[in-house]
Every structure is written in C-alpha cells, then in structure tokens.
Structure 1
Amino acid sequence: MSALPDLSGRVAIVTGAGKGLGRQYALDLARAGAAVVVNNRRHPGEADEETSAARTAAEITAAGGRAVADWSAVQDPASGQQMVDRAIEAFGRLDIVIANAAAPQARSFHKLTVDEFRAVFDVGFLGTLHLVHAAWPILRDQGHGRIIMTSSSAGRYGQHGMSAYGASKSAVDSLVRTLAAEGTSNGVMVNGVSPYAHTPMTASHITGEMAEAFVPARVSPLVLWLASDACDVSGSILVAGGGRFRSVETVETVSLDAPEGIADMIARLPDAERAAHPNSNHAFDTLLVECGFAPRAPV
C-alpha cells in the first residue's frame, strides 16, 4: 500500500462508512491523522453501540485516532447539514467530504415502481447532494476543501437491472465536473472515484481469488491522495480496483453530414475521429467550427 499522506489537523465526513469501502476510507483517514465523522444509517432496533458507524468509530478511537459516529439517513434532506454540524461540534472544522453511501439495485425497470426507483436514486444521488451542498459554503469560504464522490460504471455504460442506480451515478458524474468548474478558484478540489471492490454490496459478483485481489484497501490510497493537499486535479472521474487505476473521459466524434441519409451517417460515426472536451461550451464551439462559424467569444 502507498505511504499515507499527512492529514493531521484535517476533519473528514465519510458516508456509508460502517462497512465496505467507506469503512476502509474512514480507517485510513484516521491513520493518516484526520478526525472522522463516520456516517452510516441506523437499522431498526439497533442501539447506538451496535451500529456499524459506532463500531467503525470505536475501532478508530481504540487505535488512538479521533472519530464520532453519525446515523443520519443520507436521503433525508436534513442529513447533510446534520453531518456538517456534527463535524463542527466535535472537531471545530471541516476539510474533506467523501460521499460514498449508495443503495443497491438488481431489478429490471419494468418491475420497479416509481417509489422504488426513487428510493435507490435518492440515496445514490440526493444523499450525495445533501452533504455536498451543506459543506460547500464552509469549504468555499475557507479557501480549501476536498470532495470525493462515489461514481460507477453503471452510470456511464448502463447495466441491465440497474436503471435507478445507474441514473444516480450518472448524475454524480455531472455534479463532480460542474462543481470542479465552480470550486477550483476557491481551493475546493472535486473528484469522483469509480471503485471495483469486494464489499457487502458486490459479494455475490466478486468472489474467490478475485475478491482477494479486489479488496477496499486497494482503492483507498487513491481516495486519500484526492483528500490530501497534494491533490492537484479537479473534475476527474477515476476508476480504481485491484490496485490499478483508469481515467474516465467523455468523448464525442467529429460531426458528419448526412448526404446519403441518416442511416448511412449513423453507420459511419463509429469510425469517426474522437475528441474529449473540458466542458460543454468547448463541445459546442467545436461544432460551430465544423459548421463554418467562428467560436463564440468567452463569457
């Protein structure tokens, strides 16, 4: 595992931190010196000390670190402010936000009610939004912050039976890129991590030797680097799994006309040259040039 960055004096919130990837992030943040608000929702009938959030927080404090548990349900609109308040009350500041909580889905779209769709989407996207929106003014005003949101290949490519989960993660990707454009000038670096790891959510799909290779500890070093002062990228979506990493780019082909009709043009598009665009304005400006216009003047 890579050497831990020095996060002494920093304060982090990690959602979904009672188990799996979030738990690993929380433990490693604490090992690196950060104080951690460990969030995971309480299950019915659980006493405080029985919750996964409390167990993770206790593990941190037993090792000499600083942590408090939080049981906010991230889909609750008030949850983000509750977690931010918890961080300020316990540790006096906030520097790092890791929005990791998600709800699994494995049902075809035609079998889902709208309420069931929303239950998954609200955790995966609104659960991220509530926390980031509450933390944003603090990070922006202090001129420093690190936000890491959990993304997924299901949001980029689609997957049978994962309409709600994929939609939530596609929305996360867009939020990452937009907030990076807004936050970098104020010292707030915003990135997404798309992990592949053996966790309770993926245990039925990642098994045997594969599970041994795809442990959360092989994703966590990337997350900690993104949370550190050494991080000098913003707006990136990074894939991590098995100790290897990829960068995600959204590309478009150059434009083609359709002299022989739409079907012929569609057949030619897969072979067309591709380009990545840093933002939507750039994508439109390149289309303007291809259509014979000059790019628009910068706003």
Structure 2
Amino acid sequence: MSATDLSNRVAIVTGAGKGLGRAYAIELARAGAAVVVNNRRHPGEADADTSAARVVAEIVATGGRAVADHSSVEKDDSGEAMVAAAIAAFGRLDIVVANAASPQAASFHKLSLADFRAVFDVGFFGTLHLVHAAWPRLRDQGYGRVVMTSSSAGRYGQHGLSAYGASKSAVDSLVRTLASEGAGRGIAVNAVSPYALSQMTAAHIRGEMAEVFTPDRVAPLIAWLASEDCDVTGEVIVAGGGRFRLTETVETDSLSPDAGFGDLMARLAAQPRRTHPNSNHAFDTLLVECGLAPRAPL
C-alpha cells in the first residue's frame, strides 16, 4: 500500500518505542511527516539507548525527521512537554496519535484501587493529557488530526481486563465528543482498535497468526486518518491482518413492560436497531416513542 502524503506535517506518537507505536511512527515518517517519538525511559537507560531513540535513528537513517521524547504519559505535564518538543523541533503540530497503554492481567477482585488506577491512568489519562495539550493549538490553526487507540475490551468487556477495558471505553466516548466539538475547526478525531502482535498480545498471537497480524498492516490506516484526505470523524475502526471493520453503538426501539419484565429482554432483542449521531438524538427518539414529540416525516 502506497504511503499517504504527509509532507510538511508534524506528528506526536505516544508509546512509539516498540510494536504498534513504532510502526505508526515509521509509517508517518515514510509519508513525509516529522515525528516526535514518545516512549518512557526505563531505569538506567541513557538517552541514546532508549527505545524511542532507536526508532528515531531508524527514521533518520532513511532520510526522515524525528526526535525522541521520554515523557511518562500518565504524568499531568506530559502532554504539554510533548507539544513543546514538537514546536521546538519542527515549529508546528498537526497530528496526534495517542497510542500508549498499560497491560492488565488480573481479575477485578484481585486488583487494588492503585493497580486499577495505574492501568487506567496510562490508557485514558495518558491519552487525555496529550490531546488536551494539543487541542488549543489545533483549534487555533483550524486544522488537526487526532487518532486515539481503542480496544474491543472497552466495547464488549473481557474477563481480567476491567481497568484496561474501562480506560478504552472512556477513550471511545472522548473520540465521539471531540469529533463533534472539532468538526467546525477542521479537526478530525477518530480511534483505531487494533489486533496485532505486540508486547501486550505476544502470549495470544503466535505462529501463523503472528505472521498475519503484524503492526505494519495497521499502520497505513493511521497514516490515512492523519492526512488531509481523511474525510471521516468520530469513528472507531477495527484494524487487523490488513482488514478493517467499522463499529457502531446501537439501541433498539423501546417497549413498555405491559406483561412484566419476564420476557422484556427477549422482546427488546427482536426490535429494530438504530445508531444515533449524538445523545440528544437518542433521547429525542425516545420522546417520540413516549408520545411526547411528533414523529419526524419520512
């Protein structure tokens, strides 16, 4: 797949030292963007030895432009630091890819509140800190592309992933809200829900599956969502193995439990389903079904 043209654009990618984040940073640079490669520094590492520095070296070696950033995304000032790094190195900021996440492998009853918060802080607040710091600049210049990382664990739930899933469900909500707020300012906001071999999935994606579900088969979607060509906003897109799915949140038409609640769930399951562009629209349709507002003409 040919690279999208991102010439003269500047991007920040968090969690970009390895796996998916590394693939995203390299793909954006290949498309012409200058990239701030973020990944936290591990204890005892010199600047030149960090995973972020190694990715920067890869990009520079192929003629690209990149600098490393070692902010820990869960820290309150991390977003401001990354935005400042982009401006200092390249003079502008156009693209934000919030990819950093923290793994979880424990049932809810085994998690302390501190354990839960540590996962949630990286998965959600690590996204929020960067997007919140970048948002005023994107609004003021009347252009921006924001891509956040979602997960099926946030849409459907998964045993042992309460904190991780909750953080990604919060990301999905943030995407849809900011898409609405950014629409009049030239800012497109979307999320990618990836399936790919990474440190987090290495125990589950192996053998032939690992050969198919590689990070570089997700990365071209990130580049397109980060480009001027991107004409969608507020979407959560599943990507894996070179294939893509569009997600939707749906509600059924409403019913009254006239015969009690015993069979209500089965009756609701048989009702038509619809998606709504925003929460006000969802409520307005319920007003119609309650007879409190006229039905819109066909």
Q: 1:295 to 1:169 in 2, by over 3 A?
A: farther
Alignment partner of 1:137: what SS? helix
Match of 2:52 in 1: 53
The equivalent of 1:154 in structure 2 is 153
How much does 1:110 deviate?
0.3
Is contact 1:155–1:165 with CA below 8 Å preserved after alignment?
A: yes
User: Counterpart amino acid of 1:147?
Assistant: V
Structure-1-length-normalised TM-score: 0.98
The correspondence of residues 168-247 of structure 1 with structure 2, limited to 5 A, is: 168-247=167-246
Quote the Cα distance in structure 2 between the aligned partners of 1:201 and 1:113.
21
Aligned pairs for 1:136-155 (under 5 A) are: 136-155=135-154
Q: CA separation in 2, counterparts of 1:117 and 1:184?
A: 33
Is 1:274 paired with 2:276?
no
On the 8 A contact 1:286/1:295 being kept in 2, the answer is no
Residues matched between the structures, number: 296
Identify the residue that residue 255 of structure 2 maps to in structure 1. 256
Range with greater deviation from structure 2 (72-81 or 269-278): 269-278
The one-letter amino acid paired with 2:94 is: D
Describe the SS at the equivalent of 1:154: helix
Determine the C-alpha separation between the residues in 1 that align with 2:193 and 2:260: 39
- 1:92 aligned partner: 91
| Counterpart AA for 1:241 | G
* 1:173 alignment partner AA: D
Q: CA deviation at 1:27?
A: 0.5
CA shift digits 1:229-272 (9 cap, x unpaired): 00010000000000100001000000011111112212211111
SS in 1 for 2:263: helix
Deviates more, 1:251-260 or 1:264-273: 264-273
Contact 1:139–1:145 (Cα < 8 Å) also in 2: yes
In structure 1, distance between residues paired with 2:135 and 2:195: 28
Alignment gaps of 5+ in structure 1: none
Cα distance in 1 for residues equivalent to 2:144 and 2:129: 17
TM-score by length of 2: 0.98
- SS of the residue corresponding to residue 237 of structure 2 reads strand
Question: What residue number does 1:65 align with?
Answer: 64
* Rounded Cα–Cα distance in structure 1 between residues aligned with 2:97 and 2:80: 15
SS in 2 for 1:6: coil
How far apart, in 1, do the equivalents of 2:156 and 2:292 lie?
Answer: 33
Change (3 A) 1:88 1:295: farther
Cα deviation, residue 295, structure 1: 6.2
The residue matched to 1:195 in structure 2 has which SS? strand
Tell me by how many angstroms 1:12 deviates: 0.1
| Cα deviation, residue 66, structure 1 | 0.4
Quote the residue 1:6 is aligned against: 5
Partner residue, 1:165 = 164
Q: CA-atom RMSD, angstroms?
A: 1.1
State the alpha-carbon separation in 2 of the partners of residues 155 and 219 from structure 1. 19
Q: Deviations over 1:116-149 (max 9, x none)?
A: 0000000000000000000000001100000000
Write out per-residue CA displacement over residues 23-49 of structure 1, whole angstroms, 9 at most, x where no aligned residue.
Answer: 000001111110000000011111111
Separation in 2 of the partners of 1:4 and 1:63? 15
Q: Give 1:227 shift.
A: 0.3
Amino acid at match of 2:236: I
Q: Note if contact 1:21-1:216 (Cα within 8 Å) is conserved in structure 2.
A: yes
> Quick one: which amino acid aligns to residue 108 of structure 1?
S
Q: Which amino acid aligns with 2:19?
A: G
Aligned to 1:110: 109
Contact 1:35–1:65 under 8 Å retained in 2: yes
Q: Distance in 2 between matches of 1:264 and 1:242?
A: 40
After TM superposition, where is structure 1 displaced by more than 2 Å over at least 4 residues in a row? none
Letter in structure 1 aligned against 2:282: A
